[in-house]
Structure 1
Amino acid sequence: MTSLATDLDRLGAEFWQWRDATSFRTSDDIPRVERPAGWVPRFDPAAIDEFRLALAGFTERWKAIDDGGLAGLPVENHVDHRLLGAALARVHWEVEVLRNWERDAVFLTSQVLGPWFDLLLPPPPFDARRRRDLVRVLEAIPGAVEQAIANLERAGVATLARVAAADLADIGARLERSVAAVAPLTDAATAAALRGAQPAASEALERYRVWLEASADRLGPDVIVGRDAFTWYLRHVALVARDPDELVRAAMHDYRRSIVAEAVTRTRYRDVPEPPLAASAEAESVAEAAAEAEVRALYESADLLSQPDSLRHYRFAPTPAYLEPIAFLGVNDDLTSIGRVAEDATSYVPDPAPGLPYFDAANARDPRLGIIHEGTHSQQLALSWAHPNPLRRHFIDSIANEGIAHYNEELMLTAGLFADSPHSQTIVHNFMRLRALRVVVDVNLATGAFSLPEAVDFFVRMVPIDVETATEETSYYVATPGLAMSYLVGKHEVMRLVADAAAAAALDGAEFSLRDVHDFVWRNGNVPMSLLRWQLLGDRSDIDVIDAVGPWWAALPG
């Protein structure tokens, strides 16, 4: 291995160790990482200054490797270098452009209370380290609330403050219920410490809610990143060569296609009754285990994707009493981590009942509808976390990961997984409609064409979905441009790669293996498709478009 490649590996290892210890907490499941013992998020101005200084140091070392000359190295090393550059650009995007650490009350709620939720996600037993961390994060809540209020006093956004206040209704009592439910699962000393820390934590959260309600009207307007900054994100974080307008046009094409496909399916099977909800969360979990075996068998029999015996499973489980009161804090699953890659992933489901939110209702009638998306995340992450190259084990941007999962939905529909369930076929087409409309919302929020209420109304009318799900999604997307569009934009990137791989094989007179391409994409599922095109097909046309606008540190937004 050349010294430059060795330097890149060393820099990557040091950067990711730093990143796991300093990145903000997220309510999304894909970017979750295993944190150092005793970790709590830092979002005070002094910490932000430390982040900036560290980023500058990593960036200079990364540029020096490029300046040292990568020309003689294999494409794989170029891909790794670009991948690390995208990770560095993401830190700038989060700290300097989005600035959610001082603007977004929903984000700050996630920093204050989210670590408690995250520690509860892995199934019991609660080992000594996790017990200590539960006490630590509960004791840290009052101080975190004070810092959140100080940040929002300086730069808070009114709309997101109102959403956060609504999320926190009755939060003191809800936290008390969560603590009361988990304490008996710990040892006596931990239980006593949790019960001792809970009243102050609940009081601080209620104070935060009251402050948000009282202060929202005097906080600032929504902050729009603007077209230029959004395009910078596409080019340098997501490594996507398409323009925003092109993404919207493609999304509207898919939106219309999904409406027609859904209408045809619904009309064809109009006399077939909708399947019933599962009898209970326990029954749904049992059905899901059998359904996962069915999905895996189809991957193998249709020669679509390898399913090694060593690959862990994705399981449903009833939502524990300690998670239920705070379920709003994130995706209710434990996809594990790099250090726990051999453990089964767990998705917590509520008791089936009329009026369930959009995705929960779909899963309660056919668990395969969850397996083909969240179960795909579980498999892709497990495969990527075990990648022999450590630089490819880490989350960079949602477009690659969400694109694979959304691509897999249509893949399994086309492969015949739902031949026995017309209703589920209809739902998959509706999933496509939702993901297409997310692109429209995302871009319009980023450019200011939509306000948050307008985006919620757009989702409710056009999908349609319930107001609760629409509000939850949109309040998160308004402060995270690029996430809502990641599903369909990423799916299109995957489809283009697979189709061009098939075309290249045909031109060469070679046999095309869909399984081999899928195995490559899933194993490298954290890597943007523009880089995988370069490695797999020798096609660097997307990279040339990105290079044409200059390096990521030139004309930094924010």
Structure 2
Amino acid sequence: MSTPLIDLSNDIERWAQVAAFRSSDDIPRLRRDPEWLPDFTPASIDERREALAGFRERLAGLEIDETDVASQVDRRLLTSVLNRVEWDLDVLRNWERDAVFLVGQILGPWFDILLPVPPFADGVERGLVVIAASIPERVDAARANLERAGVADLARVAALELENMRERFVASVEGLAGVVSDGTLEELRALAPAAGAALDDFGLWLASAADGFAPSVPVGRERFVWFLRNVALIAEEPEELVRAALQDYRRAVLAEVVTKNRFRDVPTDPIASTIEAQVERQAQQEAEVRAFSESEGLLSQPVTLRRYHVAATPAYLDPVRFLGVTDDLTDEDRLGTDSVSYMPDPRPDLPYFYAANARDPRLGIIHEGAHYKQLALSWANPDPVRRRYVDSVANEGIAFYNEELMLLAGLFDDAPHSQEVVHNFNRLRSLRVVVDVSLATGAFSLEEAVDFFVRLVPMDVETAREECAMYLATPGLAMSYHVGKQQFLRLVTDAVVARGADFSLRELHDRVWTNGNLPFSLHRWEILGDRADVDLVDAASGPIPAAR
């Protein structure tokens, strides 16, 4: 490990804990001060650009031994981090264009600090008061940004999210009764009407102003390729990613149909009778899945690794659950804490993923539970550069790969309909690649993308439009599951051929999970000595192409 690289990584991490925007995704959550508030004013953007330039200058000035592969990998990780900052600030520009993103900056910190299981850490109660008090002023700042550069489709999605927010925010505060101190609860009750009214009014304004905003536009092929090479460190062309996804989609459709036909006389698994029953069954199955992974030689389960559990959604989170993934995957400072994923009460009309978990909790354990294990193992990595780097293609790819791994290994031999669901997961996520990449490159218009989802998922028009609008705002995220999985499969296949009789699936999985935030192009270099992808990525380094 290079000391100068670690020093620079430490400084970037401290800066990011203050300056990085809040994410609604669970993987890239940062450790924050409980009173932290994201700043999205134009002046703060200029400050970020200045800091970014300073970090780039420092990184360029470091001399790293070309034969030190580990340090060369770390240097590329820091380059990717800085490239992503520029991508977010100056290409996506969601800080001034995306109303959904801005709602997350305003209210997301409230949601985030409420995710750990009570009792809350020191400072959380004061943080809740600070966040609630800040909402009206920060709504005004968001509105000023959107009046200048807002995008119509995203404004309409945000308006729907904010419906009845006055009552919902008050309900979130009331849900804290008995959880926070009486004094804090009274402070929050006093602040809730103004905060809720500001959010409610913001939603109404978005609905009325959206028609005057700009249309959604793709980043374009050249810029998307820059993102693939310089941020995600992916060597494939966009069209290759789409072809691979369509091929896997067809395979998933056939697998699902054949499995359904094979077990056509087996009754569908019932939904859990109560949330308590689901929680109890999940705890039992989580232990069984860990034992299965160990006994089958798939992945080591160190005794230091804590548990991934589910729990009933708390009353204070339920009204604001739209703000992100309702789980707490812990962090590098809480390696001794269990992870938790919050679930709604079981009912017949549960949304897609919740319904799957209510029937067979293992379907969540093999994905969200894999996230927890991979992140917890990575956070124990002795290299701080690797502990802190996050890449959705790697993280989501590992979890998605783990779903099919467990299916093939026999975890669901006792659950035919859960086998169908795993194939259906593959079908949906394959299609997301097609839409995500095609929207980013301009191969699909927004209407064509909506029609594609409606016909092939199938999905209702309103949901399809919401998803596609989000893909335009955050290109590269929806594709990450399938693209990462395919790259992992390629790594495994090539390792089997290279190692022959000496190949160990457990050893490869342990290494990838422990370094699980690395893009797979870098895994290939370290594990196989294959730097072909790295050379292609390096050759494409350079400034972001101008918008066309």
Pick aligned residue for 1:281 from 270, 275, 278? 275
How far the C-alpha of 1:396 sits from its partner, in A, is 3.0
Distance of 1:147 and 1:222 partners within structure 2: 22
Distance of 1:523 and 1:556 partners within structure 2: 38
How far the C-alpha of 1:473 sits from its partner, in A, is 4.0
What does residue 70 of structure 1 align with?
A: 65
What does residue 24 of structure 1 align with?
A: 21
Structure 1 contact 232–557 (Cα < 8 Å) conserved = no
What does residue 523 of structure 2 align with?
A: 532
What does residue 3 of structure 2 align with?
A: 6
Bigger shift: 93-102 or 338-347? 338-347
Kindly provide the CA deviation profile for residues 509-529 of structure 1, in whole angstroms up to 9, marking residues without a partner as x: x51110000000011111101
1:514 is aligned to 2:508: no
Distance of 2:335 and 2:38 partners within structure 1: 24
What does residue 90 of structure 1 align with?
A: 84
Kindly provide the CA deviation profile for residues 129-178 of structure 1, in whole angstroms up to 9, marking residues without a partner as x: 00011111111111110011000000000011011101111011000000
Structure 1 contact 404–494 (Cα < 8 Å) conserved = yes
1:491 is aligned to 2:485: yes
1:42 is aligned to 2:39: yes
Structure 1 contact 255–432 (Cα < 8 Å) conserved = yes
Identity %: 58
| TM alignment of 1:391-540, pairs within 5 A | 391-452=385-446, 454-465=448-459, 470=464, 473-506=467-500, 510-540=501-531
How far the C-alpha of 1:36 sits from its partner, in A, is 2.3
Structure 1 contact 183–194 (Cα < 8 Å) conserved = no
Q: Report the secondary structure of 1:347's partner residue.
A: strand
Kindly provide the CA deviation profile for residues 478-526 of structure 1, in whole angstroms up to 9, marking residues without a partner as x: 21000010001000111111111111112xxx51110000000011111
| TM alignment of 1:200-211, pairs within 5 A | 200-211=194-205
Structure 2 contact 64–71 (Cα < 8 Å) conserved = no
Kindly provide the CA deviation profile for residues 80-102 of structure 1, in whole angstroms up to 9, marking residues without a partner as x: 10111111111011111100000
Structure 2 contact 64–72 (Cα < 8 Å) conserved = no
Q: Indicate the RMSD between aligned Cα atoms, in angstroms.
A: 1.6
Distance of 1:149 and 1:44 partners within structure 2: 11
Which ranges of structure 1 fall in alignment gaps of 5 or more residues?
Answer: none
Distance of 1:468 and 1:431 partners within structure 2: 21
How far the C-alpha of 1:472 sits from its partner, in A, is 5.4
Kindly provide the CA deviation profile for residues 200-247 of structure 1, in whole angstroms up to 9, marking residues without a partner as x: 101110110111011000011102100011000000100000000010
Compared with structure 1, are the counterparts of its residues 552 and 305 closer, same or farther at alpha carbon in structure 2 (3 Å cutoff)? farther
1:236 is aligned to 2:257: no
Counterpart of 1:438, as a letter, is R
| TM alignment of 1:314-329, pairs within 5 A | 314-329=308-323
| TM value normalised by structure 1 | 0.95
Counterpart of 2:22, as a letter, is R
Distance of 2:289 and 2:198 partners within structure 1: 46
Structure 2 contact 326–341 (Cα < 8 Å) conserved = yes
Counterpart of 1:203, as a letter, is A
What does residue 146 of structure 1 align with?
A: 140
Distance of 2:372 and 2:384 partners within structure 1: 18
Structure 2 contact 216–469 (Cα < 8 Å) conserved = no
Distance of 2:104 and 2:41 partners within structure 1: 15
Counterpart of 1:541, as a letter, is A
How far the C-alpha of 1:33 sits from its partner, in A, is 1.2
| TM alignment of 1:252-267, pairs within 5 A | 252-267=246-261
Which ranges of structure 2 fall in alignment gaps of 5 or more residues?
Answer: none
1:298 is aligned to 2:285: no
What does residue 366 of structure 1 align with?
A: 360
| TM value normalised by structure 2 | 0.97
How far the C-alpha of 1:451 sits from its partner, in A, is 4.5
| TM alignment of 1:336-347, pairs within 5 A | 336-347=330-341
Q: Report the secondary structure of 1:525's partner residue.
A: coil
Compared with structure 1, are the counterparts of its residues 472 and 421 closer, same or farther at alpha carbon in structure 2 (3 Å cutoff)? farther
Pick aligned residue for 2:303 from 282, 300, 309? 309
Q: Report the secondary structure of 1:340's partner residue.
A: coil
Distance of 1:134 and 1:242 partners within structure 2: 44
| TM alignment of 1:51-130, pairs within 5 A | 51-65=48-62, 68-71=63-66, 73-130=67-124
Structure 1 contact 116–134 (Cα < 8 Å) conserved = yes
Distance of 2:377 and 2:447 partners within structure 1: 39
Pick aligned residue for 1:547 from 517, 538, 541? 538
What does residue 170 of structure 1 align with?
A: 164
Bigger shift: 451-460 or 6-15? 451-460
Compared with structure 1, are the counterparts of its residues 468 and 190 closer, same or farther at alpha carbon in structure 2 (3 Å cutoff)? farther
Structure 1 contact 357–469 (Cα < 8 Å) conserved = no
Distance of 1:200 and 1:341 partners within structure 2: 38
Structure 2 contact 165–197 (Cα < 8 Å) conserved = no
Distance of 1:354 and 1:468 partners within structure 2: 21
How far the C-alpha of 1:552 sits from its partner, in A, is 3.9
1:269 is aligned to 2:263: yes
Distance of 1:465 and 1:284 partners within structure 2: 27
Structure 2 contact 378–515 (Cα < 8 Å) conserved = yes
How far the C-alpha of 1:450 sits from its partner, in A, is 3.5
What does residue 161 of structure 1 align with?
A: 155
Aligned length: 548
Q: Report the secondary structure of 1:339's partner residue.
A: coil
How far the C-alpha of 1:471 sits from its partner, in A, is 5.4
Structure 1 contact 120–323 (Cα < 8 Å) conserved = yes
